[in-house]
Every structure is written in C-alpha cells, then in structure tokens.
Chain A
Amino acid sequence: MEVLDNLYLGFSHIFILENLIYCFLGVFIGTLIGVLPGIGPVGAMSILLPATFKTSPIGSIIMLGGIYYGAMYGGSTTSILVNIPGEAASVVTCLDGYQMARHGRAGPALGIAAFGSFIAGTLSIVGLMLIAPPLASIALRFGPPEYFSLMCLGLTILIYLASGSIIRALMMAVFGVIIGCVGQDAETGSPRFVFGIYDLMDGIGLAPFVMGLFGISEVFLNIEQVLKERNIFETKLKRLFPNLQDWKDSAMPIMRGSILGFLLGILPGGGAVISSFASYGIEKKISKHPEKFGKGAIEGVAGPESANNSATGGAFIPLLTLGIPPNVVMALLLGALMMHGVTPGPRLIQENPVIFWGVVASMYVGNGMLLLLNLPLIGLWVQVLKVPYKILFPLIILFCVIGAYSINNSTFDIAIMLIFGVLGYLMRKYNFEGAPMVLAFVLGPMLENALRLSLLMSDGSFLIFFNRPIAAGGMIVTILMLISCIVPVIRKKREAIPLEEA
C-alpha cells in the first residue's frame, strides 16, 4: 500500500538520532510547560521558535509539534491536580478532573487522560494519513458563508456548555469577538480601538490574553485567600490505572471524542479548545446521569482529553494540505516552515513528501513518548506541584511575565497580560465565565472576515447563509441550539445552578 511506503519513508527520517532528540526535547519541554500553569503551548512555542531555526525544517516542526502535544498532556495534569488549566484546552478538564481529585480519584483521572489522549492521538494520525488528500478537495469548496456558519455553530456549542447563566456566557462570547477584532482593519487599514497605541495595531496577542485571563487571575484568586495547601492534593498516586468500570464508562467518550476532535480540529478557530468543550457538552447531553457532570464524572475527562489530542491530528490537515493554519498554534508552525523555505500547500505532499510523512511519523513517535513520559513521571510533576504555593506562585508569575515578554520582546504584552489578569479575576468574582470569551477571541477576526466576504458576495443579503446547504445546515443547528438554551431560561424551568466556588 502506498500509504505504508510513505509511512516507512517518514519513519526512516524520524529514527535519526538528531530528530529523535528533537522529538524528545519537544515533548519533555512541552509537558513541563503544560504542567506549569501560566505558559501554554502558544507561549512555549513562541519562546522556542528562535531556537528551532538552527535545526532542519523537519527537526523544527517535530520539536514544535512535540511541544504542542506535550503541553496538552501537561495541561491536563495541572487541571486535574490544581484546578488551574495549563492551557485553554484543559479548561474543561478542570470541571470534572479536579472534582475527581477532590474525591481521591486523581490517579484514574490522570490515567484516563493519558490513555485517552494516546488513543485519540493515534487515531487522529491515522485519520490524517488517510483523509488529508480527499478532504482537502472538499474543503476547497467551502466559502465564507460556510466558514461563518460553522464558526457560529462552534461558539454556540461552547455556550451550550455553560453551567452558569447562558446569557452571561453569550455576553462573554460577544465581548470576545469585540476584543478579538481590535487592531488594524484588514480591509481599510483603519485602526480600531487601538487608542493610539502602536503595539495594538496587530491586535491583542492571544498568548498574553489567555495567560492573563486564566493564569494570572488564578494566582490572584489563590493569594487573596489565606494560603493553605488545600489546592494541591496529597493523594498518593499509587493507582494511576483506571479500573474496569472507569474503562467501561470512558470507552465511548474516548471514541466519540477522537472523532469529534479530529473533525473539529480541521475547522478554523479553536481546534483543540473548541473540540474539548464540544466533547464535554455532548457527553453531558447524552449521558444517562448528566447531574454527575461537574462533580467528578470520568466521562467529563475522557471525552475532552481525547478530543483535544485528536484535534491536533485534524488541525494538521488544513495546514499541511492547504497551507491554511486553522488556529494560532498551527500558524506558528506555518511560520516555522516558511522560515525554512518550505511552503505548505496542496503540493506539499508531492514536492516535499519527507516533510509531510516525517511529521506524521513523528506524531506516532511523539504520542508514544508522551505516554511513556506522562505516566511514570506523574510523580515528578506532582512533586513540582507540591512545592508550597507561596514558593510556586512567584515562579508562575515569573514564567508568565517572561513568556509574555518573549513573544514580541515587548513589555506591552506583559501589560496586556496584567490587564486581562485583573479582568479575569473580577469576572470570576462576579460570576462571568472566561472560556467563551477566549474562543470568541480566536474566532473573532475570522468571523468578521467571513461575514464581510459573505455580505459582499450576497450584495448585503443575510439569506446567503441559508441558501447554501452546508451554511444553512450550520445556521439552522445554531439557531435551534440557541433556542433550546434560551427558551427554558425564559420559562424558568431551568434549575437554579448552585453557584459553586471556582
């Protein structure tokens, strides 16, 4: 089979010592950074981007990809043990993973996150290998209306997840769109909400925004309470392996998460973020015991963790086959490739098969390395997290500060991070969720672009979103979901959700 021949080609380039070392370095640093709250994969990749210029193209993409994977794995560890998401895609894991840890089930939570991620990651690579070429040709037919409706659907799925007020989640999403569009207008070049600050012309950076909203705000929330070590669980993680019942409960969520994550990873926008939220929403919706979600349901960990890893495989598809990065992380990879003179696109597979198949092979190897690293070294990561919080939080702040600075070598990004840190802190105090804002922030510019182009195409008519089948499908489902969320609120049939502590 041709695929196997190509895979062999890829593996033959991976199993060179130099590339294996890059792979290992990438996954190790990625996991370490993912474990430490504050710097996410975007920050980690930004910091390490210059270091990869010295390597070969395949070496740099292997390492950057490894960081991305590793940060996903690491993020789930810190979400479960400390209730601080290592990065945006791990936010959902906090919901049930942390609750499992509170009930002494941190081990199975971590175990199922690792195994689920490995299984999903492997499945998604298979998907990437088999589906990339034909999917590329279908996606070529997507126009702005389709993109717009799919992004609206994605945001709606996320809001559907909101455990608090739907209205407030919607408000946060809308605000996310607003701040996501800050900067120079792509069409007219006019500055929008930059307040005369040159640094804002390129918009607000995702990394400082997320680091502030989740990382810094979490630090603030922790230090305002008398610091006890209650946040970090002392559970002896002897039993890392989920029991049979856990596997039974998790098997279908892992499968569903893998497929969902893979498909959503292809779409522009959140990728891993949106797929983890979507998976959680779906698992909760179809569960026979939805009331268990938010209180330690293993499905709430297995599904999203699988989805966010599977999304990485999916996210590579538009990057490597179309040259279109579906999210910020892939945009960084695109930048790295172009620095090495490689232009991803439909011809990459023919002209540079080594790059494509080498990346595919490295993902297999990377996934394997992560499973080997993640489980045995959990003890190490836990020791890292057991450091008293009064010692840990200055380190977290320092990492965040350096991480923010190193993106553009500018203190302005540190300031942005602080501003959103304060906002995130206040939002948590006043019961507004940050997650919808983050996703909408990422999708905002793309949404605007798609909306503009669609209206241009339709000469100002919004009917274009309903005339085309794929777009219409997306919009109808979106509207139905919104109605199904809002009508019960209006009818006051929705149970009052007790406002839990963050």
Chain B
Amino acid sequence: MTRHQRLGSIFWLVVGIYVAIASYQLGLGRLHKPGPGFIFFLSSLILIILGIIDLVGNLKRPKIEKEKKAEPIWRGFRWHKVLLVLGGIVAYIYFLNLLGFLLSTFLLMVFLYKAVEPTRWWVAILSSLITTVVSYGIFRVWLQVPFPPGILEF
C-alpha cells in the first residue's frame, strides 16, 4: 500500500513538473495582465508542492504500516479483462467511420458479451442484434444523430 501511494504521488509530481515547464513556455505574462500560461503555472506549482507533501508523508509512514500487509491492487484482479474491453472500444473508434454504425456496433457488442464472462454464442449474437437495432432506431431514426454510414450505407 505504501509503495502504491508513493507511486501515485510521484505520478502527479511528474505531471505537475511537466505542466509547469509547458505553461512557462506558453508565457506567464505579468501580474497585472496574466498570460495564457499563468493559471497553468500557478496550478502546477501548487500540484508540485502538494505532491511533495504527500510523498514526504508517505515516506514517513512505514513505521506505522510495517505490520499491515499491503493490500494487493493488481494481484488477484482480472485487469487483463479491462485491457480487453479497452482494446475493443479503441477498435470500435477506429472502425466506426469505416464500417459504419450498424456493423461496428454489432461487432463491439458481440465482443463485449463474449470477452469478459462466458456467454453462449447465440445469446451474445441475439442480444447484440437486438441492442444494435434498437439503439439505431432510437438514436438514428428518432433522434436523428448522424452516425457515419460506412460500408452498409445506412
């Protein structure tokens, strides 16, 4: 737990440093006429200070937490499922304009039904078909959201 907390603080510290440098390059302006980078610079400085306080606080903690076992946050979790779902949605973004709404949505739904939990093929396909058609009806036909037509030309 302590190591994870440290990682978290370090991450935000790095973010703060990056934003500070980038915002300085944007231009801070003057106090009576703040430039585009002013708010970013101010915020990133605060972030850096808070990150340091948080990190120092974590470094001081080991004495208290030594006896407590660190709670695992990755071991025992199916984070690969998360990656799978993430990959599926990324693919959807890519294929939406290419294949159009109907086909890409259908494929995405089948993938999501199958990827995470064991689901029978006919259940996945039927549910995906129904969901795709219903959502098309609601969003395209009724609400007129202009989805990309793709290869099916709908």
Residue pair B112, A397 in contact (C-beta under 8 Å)? yes
Give residues of chain A (370-401) contacting chain B, Cβ–Cβ below 8 Å: 390-391, 393-395, 397-398, 401
* Docked complex Cα distance between A447 and B116 (Å): 43
Residue pair A411, B146 in contact (C-beta under 8 Å)? no
A457 (CB) vs chain B CBs: closest residue: B32
* Docked complex Cα distance between A422 and B83 (Å): 10
Q: Does B36 contact A (CB under 8 A)?
A: yes
State which of B12, B86, B96 has its C-beta within 8 Å of the C-beta of A171.
B12
- A421-452 near B? 1/0 per residue, CB < 8 Å: 11001000111100000000000100110011
Residue pair B22, A223 in contact (C-beta under 8 Å)? no
- A251-288 near B? 1/0 per residue, CB < 8 Å: 00000000000000000000000000000000000000
Residue pair A447, B39 in contact (C-beta under 8 Å)? yes
Residue pair A398, B131 in contact (C-beta under 8 Å)? yes
Q: Does B82 contact A (CB under 8 A)?
A: yes
Contact partners of B51 in chain A: CB under 8 A? 171
Contact partners of B109 in chain A: CB under 8 A? 394, 398
Residue pair B15, A175 in contact (C-beta under 8 Å)? yes
Contact partners of B154 in chain A: CB under 8 A? none
Q: In whole Å, how far is A240's beta carbon from the nearest beta carbon of chain B?
A: 30
Contact partners of B26 in chain A: CB under 8 A? 190, 192
9 further interface pairs, Cβ-Cβ under 8 Å (given A192-B23, A224-B82):
A51-B143, A171-B50, A190-B27, A390-B113, A398-B109, A415-B93, A430-B5, A460-B32, A499-B1
Contact partners of B119 in chain A: CB under 8 A? 390
State which of A48, A178, A394 has its C-beta within 8 Å of the C-beta of B44.
A178
Q: Does A5 contact B (CB under 8 A)?
A: no
Contact partners of B108 in chain A: CB under 8 A? 398, 401
Contact partners of B77 in chain A: CB under 8 A? 224-225
Contact partners of A414 in chain B: CB under 8 A? 89, 92-93
Give residues of chain B (73-126) contacting chain A, Cβ–Cβ below 8 Å: 73-74, 77-79, 81-82, 85-86, 89-90, 92-93, 96-97, 105, 108-109, 112-113, 116-117, 119
Q: Does A237 contact B (CB under 8 A)?
A: no
Interface residues of B: mostly helix, strand, loop or mixed?
helix
Residue pair A51, B86 in contact (C-beta under 8 Å)? no
Contact partners of A193 in chain B: CB under 8 A? 19, 22, 40
State which of B23, B73, B78, B135 has its C-beta within 8 Å of the C-beta of A430.
B73
Q: List 17 A-B contacts (CB under 8 A).
A: A47-B143, A50-B143, A51-B143, A165-B54, A168-B8, A171-B12, A174-B43, A223-B78, A393-B116, A405-B145, A406-B143, A411-B96, A411-B97, A429-B74, A430-B7, A431-B5, A455-B31
Contact partners of A429 in chain B: CB under 8 A? 4, 73-74
Given that A425-B82, A460-B31 are known contacts, is A167 also in contact with B57, CB under 8 Å in the complex? yes
Given that A190-B36, A398-B131 are known contacts, is A174 also in contact with B50, CB under 8 Å in the complex? yes
Chain A residues with CB under 8 Å of chain B are 47-48, 50-51, 165, 167-168, 170-171, 174-175, 177-178, 181, 185, 187-188, 190, 192-193, 219-220, 223-227, 390-391, 393-395, 397-398, 401-402, 405-406, 409, 411, 414-415, 418, 421-422, 425, 429-432, 444, 447-448, 451-452, 455-456, 458-461, 496, 499
State which of A177, A415, A499 has its C-beta within 8 Å of the C-beta of B43.
A177
Q: In whole Å, how far is A417's beta carbon from the nearest beta carbon of chain B?
A: 9
Contact partners of B23 in chain A: CB under 8 A? 192
Residue pair B116, A432 in contact (C-beta under 8 Å)? no
* Docked complex Cα distance between A423 and B144 (Å): 32
Residue pair A226, B142 in contact (C-beta under 8 Å)? no
Q: In whole Å, how far is A66's beta carbon from the nearest beta carbon of chain B?
A: 16
Residue pair B116, A397 in contact (C-beta under 8 Å)? no
* Docked complex Cα distance between A496 and B77 (Å): 26
Residue pair B33, A409 in contact (C-beta under 8 Å)? no
Residue pair B127, A391 in contact (C-beta under 8 Å)? yes
Contact partners of B117 in chain A: CB under 8 A? 227, 390
Contact partners of B39 in chain A: CB under 8 A? 177-178, 181, 444, 447-448, 451-452
Residue pair B43, A224 in contact (C-beta under 8 Å)? no
State which of A51, A165, A226 has its C-beta within 8 Å of the C-beta of B144.
A51
Give residues of chain B (4-40) contacting chain A, Cβ–Cβ below 8 Å: 4-5, 7-8, 11-12, 15, 19, 22-23, 26-27, 30-40
* Docked complex Cα distance between A178 and B109 (Å): 35
Q: In whole Å, how far is B138's beta carbon from the nearest beta carbon of chain A?
A: 9
Residue pair B96, A223 in contact (C-beta under 8 Å)? no
Q: In whole Å, how far is B130's beta carbon from the nearest beta carbon of chain A?
A: 11
